[in-house]
Structure 1
């Protein structure tokens, strides 16, 4: 039995690799190819049925995927676009759930308001992985990607909170608003607090205990699981705990671990997230026969269920489009009373692209699968469970295929304006090179090392290199231990200066700063191996 499961896992991993290679060949985003491939594989004779355990997705898949997204997100961009990100992650999700609930209650027989609200909460959060992967094929302004990435970090938490309250309302037959409001506040504040607190504790452990690259990497992998489980234990939001903890750790990352640990963990995390995302989207497709079997057992017409799925999908597209264009007008109106990130008149292109990037993904499927078979504390079957699952599957598949395949075409058709949020890369690189050179020279002067420079050919060459602002980092071999130590201290000073620049200058793109920090890490790694 174990051998069969191992063979099946290996076969699935192999299928993921083949499907992603095919997607790269035909230039289609891999989430689309994986879902379609999973559906095709599910009809292979002898293919075992996949009954996905929602706890597997919530506990195994979700924490590391969200943590990685938070860790590599830009806190500076999050703060800059905090209002629109917060609006889409919380207000738009809530409005979407309400509207979908009303539509389901009106047009789908057997759907109560609470059941429709449950469906709305399930399908309301767009999936960041899908949009981010698709946008790699075309170039989009940094503000669009920053808003999408920031929204995706928090909308999962808000939608799952809605799902929780809708399940309670269906199970008890009543909804006590003040209890729900109190619980909601605790889930948000408690979840964020648990994440930041545990991240702070883990940072202290990094400083107090001797750790090598392997232990550092293992700590980063275990961190999201510890945060998620701890928050859920105290009935707070595990999703928000992971996101807030990842953001806090990212903000402090330069001061915590060394270059070797950062480089090692980067490679490990790239592989881990690649595998988890691939497995999640493949399982969505493989679960289709099980969902269709549930419809058949409940006597629900496949054609009518498909029509309901189309109706809800169209509603979601319209709601998000309306929210995207409304955000522009609301921002312009509020700019008369408060300082907004950008009060200039915007065209239709930005809101159109933002509204079209509403692909749903694995969180929606996991939320649908978390619906119990029976109403808690009773033997009454949960109403319309199989139909909710099928509609969710339809929404995921249609938005991934329809919006996912047309998004690159849309981005090429519309003319996105030059928002001028950041200075050009050439200008930013010039400022960074000058600043790093000046920080290095200031460090030598501050520590009275200038007198020793003529006695070391390596340091002398480096000083000349910084003075001339050359881009080449040089290839001299550093055999002298004193020179090694000095150079490593200079590299650390450069990292600290880059971190300060990123925090103080909002017009410098954080991705570029991270690129230079990565180059410094590589230089330090080369230095350690010589």
Structure 2
């Protein structure tokens, strides 16, 4: 006789499985919240200890991997890059400009493309010699995995010490594009390794070019559409929210068309800053504060996950872990040596073209040493390592997989944790001047241009009474003094009284004067030879003044 009730033996396993999924989801959520809270504490701790806080977060992640509950947590490798890379790349790319790229395109191509290719070749050759049974395709995949320094790691770690802006901006520019070259090489090599065929290097080069062209197009088109939509929205918070979604959208659309999401995000960020206008003060202030908080939290969670996943990478089926670690150390030395040698060659080339770009780097052996130690691996390396399957399409074990995973773990420990913790010491030992005076001079020049533009607006504004002009000029003189780090009385008591009596007219003229000042700063930011971060610092001061007037 048939019963209307379901078979209890079939229902129980399903319920147990559903409960397990719910518990895993809650544990993952708890881990993310925990890493976020730990980031807030570790940032302060790192500041007191004068240690890079991202490296400390990796150590916390490694410690967390030994907690049984956290050790069971796994995040799909295919989700790591789409979740963490777009917002962090977008934030980093907004600190540069098209004008800077126009000057340093040779350096960017040399370090983000050519150096990646040389590193892949060196690592692949070493792997073929040291790893038993590895194929050329698998060795190339390993090289692509280990080649790109992480732009997020470099920005977060180097930002904790005082180093010259010319070095920092070069490291940032390199990091924005090298993931793109590495990912294309990795995908091509993995396809060959999985099918048991050889890597077609001609097809690889063509794929990279096509991928770059499509990615650039996607970045420009999506920003054009988003900017058009934003012009129809008269709500600062809504516009800022749309801007937060932009990097994810650009990345996913580019990946959908089999293009480089990395290049698309970087192009999108550069185009957003190019389109920036002087009237967006409130929006810039809101977005700057939001991005600072999000960038810190996402970076902390990402590096915590790197530490957590290191145990998973090392816990392979390897029979001789000691030998694999030695192989990994050998490959790490090759990666470091290739980078140092390439940068030494770069010192010769950059010195020859110093007249064209006075802020080029590296210029000497100290620059090359610091930039070598700043070549830290991170998100891309761990995500690609975790994506390697256990078997190929034919069912055979993936060639050299256990050695590859251990090598990835070793190079992360050497170039991220060790390099990160010792980075401040290396800066001090090398005696590299932070060139603060040069940066102050750059700030002074941009502030002076903005000040003159504001005074010109005040002088030629027909609505301004004569008795208000002098006090208003004094107020801008005070703002100019603040930008230069000097003190100056903004107005005498008599001038303050005059300003109070003519508050409405003064506010309108001051708004127009601030707009002229911001226009001049944005113009300077787009010019060749201007450090975008210096211009942004001056612009933020004028933005805050504009917001206070509202």
Q: Aligned partners of 2:183 and 2:360: how far apart in 1?
A: 33
Q: Give the corresponding residue for 1:411.
A: 427
Q: Distance in 1 between matches of 2:473 and 2:191?
A: 67
Residues 470, 244 of structure 1: alpha-carbon distance in 2 compared, 3 angstrom cutoff: closer
Question: Shift of the alpha carbon at 1:275?
Answer: 1.3
The offset of 1:272, in angstroms, is 1.2
The 5-angstrom pairing of residues 453-464 of structure 1 reads: 453-454=465-466, 457=468, 459-464=469-474
For 1:232-311, what aligned pairs fall within 5 Å after superposition? 232-255=255-278, 258-293=280-315, 295-296=316-317, 299-311=318-330
Q: CA deviation at 1:78?
A: 3.2
In 2, Cα distance between the equivalents of 1:11 and 1:347?
Answer: 43
1:90-129, Cα deviation, whole Å (9 max, x unpaired): 0000100011000000111121111111000001011233
Aligned residue among 129, 143, 146 for 1:123: 146
Deviation at 1:218, TM superposition (A): 1.0
Counterparts of 2:477 and 2:59, CA distance in 1: 56
How far the C-alpha of 1:137 sits from its partner, in A, is: 4.0
Q: Distance in 1 between the 2:282 and 2:384 partners? A: 38
Query: Are 1:204 and 2:214 counterparts?
Result: no
Matched, 1:354 2:376: no
Q: Is the CA contact (8 Å cut-off) linking 1:263 and 1:521 kept in structure 2?
A: yes
C-alpha RMSD over aligned residues: 2.9
SS at match of 2:454: helix
**Alignment-derived partner of residue 189 in structure 1:** 213
Q: In the aligned structure 1, how far is the partner of 2:293 from the partner of 2:361?
A: 41
Task: Determine whether 1:89 maps to 2:112.
Answer: yes
388, 404, 410: which one aligns with 1:388? 404
CA distance in 1, matches of 2:287, 2:127: 45
1:313 aligns with 2:332: yes
In 1, the alpha carbon distance for the partners of 2:198 and 2:43 equals: 47
CA distance in 1, matches of 2:34, 2:527: 49
Out of 74-83 and 516-525, give the one that drifted further: 74-83
CA offset at residue 428 of structure 1? 4.1
Q: Do 2:95 and 2:532's aligned partners in 1 also have CA atoms closer than 8 Å? A: no
Residue in 2 that maps onto 1:39: 62
Query: Matches of 1:57 and 1:46 in 2, distance apart?
Result: 20
Matched-pair contact (CA < 8 Å) for 1:35–1:397? no
* Structure 2 runs not aligned, ≥5 long: 1-21, 483-487
In 2, Cα distance between equivalents of 1:48 and 1:315: 32
Query: What are the residue-to-residue correspondences of 1:14-53 with 2, within 5 Å?
Result: 14-53=37-76
- Aligned counterpart in structure 2 of residue 397 of structure 1, from 408, 413, 430: 413
Q: How many Å separate the matches in 2 of 1:485 and 1:403?
A: 53
Shift of the 160–430 alpha-carbon distance from structure 1 to 2, 3 Å rule, reads closer
Whole-Å separation in 2 of the counterparts to 1:10 and 1:59: 19
* Residues 205-228 of structure 1: CA deviation (Å, up to 9, x unaligned): 222x12312112111111111111
After superposing the two structures, state which structure 1 stretch, 380-389 or 144-153, moved more.
380-389
> 2: CA distance between counterparts of 1:126 and 1:345?
16
Counterpart Cα distance in 1 of 2:527 and 2:26? 56
Which ranges of structure 1 fall in alignment gaps of 5 or more residues?
none
Q: Distance in 1 between matches of 2:446 and 2:359?
A: 25
1:73-88 alignment, distance < 5 Å? 73-88=96-111
Query: CA separation in 1, counterparts of 2:205 and 2:365?
Result: 36
**Maintained 8 Å contact 2:184/2:207:** no
What is the TM-score when the length of structure 2 is the normalising length?
0.85
Cα offsets for 1:148-188 (capped at 9, x unmatched) = 00000011111111101111221231333443332221111
Contact 1:438 1:466 in 2 (8 A): no
- Give the whole-Å Cα distance in 1 for the aligned partners of 2:331 and 2:163: 28
Per-residue deviation, residues 429-459 of structure 1 (Å, max 9, x unmatched): 544444333312322444533xx3236x4x5
Number of the residue aligned with 2:526? 503
What SS does the corresponding residue of 1:251 show, helix, strand or coil? helix
**Secondary structure of the residue that 1:36 maps to in structure 2?**
helix
Per the alignment, do residues 467 and 516 of structure 1 end up closer, same or farther by CA in structure 2, a change over 3 Å counting?
closer
Q: Is the 8 A contact 1:20 1:34 kept in 2?
A: no
CA shift at 1:487, angstroms? 2.1
Aligned counterpart, 1:370? 387
What is the CA–CA distance in structure 2 between the aligned matches of 1:437 and 1:27, rounded to whole Å?
37
CA distance in 1, matches of 2:473, 2:110: 50
**Normalised TM-score (structure 1):** 0.88
Q: Distance in 2 between matches of 1:477 and 1:134?
A: 47
Provide the secondary structure at the position in 1 that maps to 2:132: coil
Q: CA deviation at 1:347?
A: 3.3
**What secondary structure is seen at the aligned counterpart in 2 of 1:413?**
helix
C-alpha distance in structure 1 between counterparts of 2:133 and 2:544, whole Å: 61
Q: Tell me if the contact between 1:50 and 1:290 (Cα under 8 Å) persists in the aligned partners.
A: no
Q: Secondary structure at the match of 1:235?
A: coil
Aligned length: 513
Map 1:486-525 → 2, pairs under 5 A = 486-504=509-527, 506=529, 508-525=530-547
Residues 86-235 of structure 1 mapped to structure 2, 5 A cutoff: 86-172=109-195, 173-207=197-231, 209-235=232-258
Contact kept? 1:78, 1:146, Cα under 8 Å: no
Q: Distance in 2 between matches of 1:124 and 1:467?
A: 50
1:424 and 2:451 aligned: no
